[in-house]
Amino acid sequence: MAQSTTLDEPIGGLMEGVTDSLNSDLVQSRATGEPEWLRNRRLDAWASYERTPMPTTRLEEWRYTDLSRKLSLDALTPMEWSERAFDRESAPARMAEAMEADHESSGHVVEIDGTVAHVDLDADLAAKGVVLTSLRSAVEDHPELLEEYLATRALPADRGKFQALNAALWTDGIFLHVPRGVRLEHPVRVTRWLSEEGKALFSRTLIVAAEASQVSYVDEILSDDMEVQSLVSSAVEVFAGNGAQVQYVSLQRLGHGPFHLSQQRTIAGKDATLDTLNVNMGATTARLDLNAQLLGSGANSDMLGLCFGEGDQHFDHNTSQDHVAPHAYSDLLYKGALDGRARSVFRGIIKVHKGAQQTDAYQTNRNLLLSEEARADSLPNLEIEADDVRCSHGATVGQLDQDHLFYLMSRGLSRTEAERLVVIGFLGEVLSKLPLGGVVEKISRAVEAKLNV
């Protein structure tokens, strides 16, 4: 047969995404003065970045998000680490407001432009051995834990282009370690602020919850609206040891302008519960890659997500329920409401590996289109290689339920009010499944604010 010549351009090549500012010199400078293991990890990650082609829409996982149009790496300069102090009095209004709305907590972290500026932790918890610190300090103080967990088992550089980029270039981040059996009554609350335009910011979060411990972690990121794109890359690794109970909540409330790239991997041990909530309200483009691995038998993950898009916002959620162990349970519910020309993509997969018998896995994606130009794409996938499982998935795309609207209007509400109420009710279902102090109110208010625009 005649040799096929391809019409399509080849899928990428070497050195894609290496720019004048994001290059091996930068990696070298970041690695300067670091312990050898970390230095090598950065260099390996950079090598992996260089040889991995830039994702294109020809890849299933990037089918609906065209990076060549959404992200201008060439225009970005790296955000550098610098000593910073946090002063609540002079904090930007949006940031101060967000922090005020936080209820009681076990500890706080404030990160500004990729540098941790403030950490406090309940003294009793510190005495019990809980560690809450910047990733930079953790390299000094807890090298054995970091060497074991940082960019190794959860988000190693070879998992993908951007995993590699973050592992090579991170400036700082947060490290939380909860020792065996220690339970935190209140959430750890993290506030991250972005102030600069035209930057590429790389931050990491590492949460290690040992056996039978318990912790909730709320990770909020904010900024004002920006004219020029910044890239915020967040790599989040969460480990729940046997029987541990962990909640990770991400509230993405960046202003207009930034591209938020959130890569999360959760690994749940035997009988552990590891729940996540991802709220996407802000940024111009927000991409979430979440892989929840059920590694121990009897592990349990609720995966919740909601987004509200307007204007030209583009949200792309790529989730994976990765059932390795038998007798594990995962339940995903992602909901999106889209106004203006906003677009949401949900691509989820339930992967049941051979031998993961008695798996229960569910996946639901529901979308509400509020305007003529909004668009929703949904790809709820299943790959099942064990026979004794219960799996189901469902996806819907629709408009506001006319019966609901009619009912509310018959009670005297105006159409606008009725619509607001129905949207809040639609998204509220997600929040009601993870009732964490402060989070529900904060998100409800943010949704209402968007609806009032």
Partner 1 sequence: MPQNDTIQDLGLDEYQYHFITEDEPVFRSGRGLNEKVVREISAQKDEPEWMLEFRLKALEIYNAKPMPTWGGDLSNLENVLDEIYFYVRPQEKMERSWDDVPPNIKETFERLGIPEAEQKVLAGVGAQYESEMVYHSLKKEWDEKGVIFDSIEDGLKNHPELFREHFGTVIPSADNKFSAMNSAVWSGGSFVYIPKGVELDTPLQAYFRVNQEQMGQFERTLIIADEGSKAHYIEGCTAPVYSTESFHSGVIEIVVKPGAHFRYTTIQNWSNNMYNLVTQRALVHENATMEWLDGNLGSKLTMKYPSCYLMGEGAHGSILSIAYSGDGQHQDTGGKVIHAAPNTTSQIVSKSISKGTGRSTYRGLCQVHEGAINSKSNVECDALLINDTSRTDTYPYIEIEEKKSNIGHEATVSKVGDEQLFYLMSRGMDEAEAMALIVRGFIEPIAKLLPLEYAVELNRLIELEMEGSVG
Smallest gap from residue 394 Cβ to partner 1 (A): 5
**Distance (Å, whole) CA 139 – CA 34:** 8
For partner 1, the closer CB: 6 or 32: 6
For partner 1, the closer CB: 225 or 401: 401
Q: Which two tokens stand for residue 252?
A: 């993405």
For partner 1, the closer CB: 129 or 355: 355
Smallest gap from residue 273 Cβ to partner 1 (A): 24
Smallest gap from residue 50 Cβ to partner 1 (A): 24
- Per DSSP bridges, beta strands 231-240 and 259-268 are parallel
Smallest gap from residue 64 Cβ to partner 1 (A): 8
Sorted by sequence, the CB contacts under 8 Å of residue 378 that are 6+ apart come out as 345, 346, 347, 365, 367, 395, 397
For partner 1, the closer CB: 261 or 361: 361
Smallest gap from residue 208 Cβ to partner 1 (A): 34
Whether the Cβ atoms of residue 235 and residue 155 lie closer than 8 Å to each other: yes
Q: Which residues bind partner 1 (CB under 8 A)?
A: 1-2, 4-8, 60, 354-355, 357, 367, 369-399
321 burial class (0-12, 13-18, 19+ CB within 10 angstroms)? buried
Sorted by sequence, the CB contacts under 8 Å of residue 213 that are 6+ apart come out as 178, 179, 180, 181, 182, 183, 241, 244, 245
For partner 1, the closer CB: 253 or 366: 366
For partner 1, the closer CB: 243 or 336: 336
Sorted by sequence, the CB contacts under 8 Å of residue 449 that are 6+ apart come out as none
For partner 1, the closer CB: 150 or 349: 349
Smallest gap from residue 350 Cβ to partner 1 (A): 9
Whether the Cβ atoms of residue 377 and residue 408 lie closer than 8 Å to each other: no
Q: What is the dihedral of CA 275, 281, 285, 291, to 10 degrees?
A: 0
Smallest gap from residue 37 Cβ to partner 1 (A): 37
DSSP symbols for 371-382 = STT-EEEEEEEE
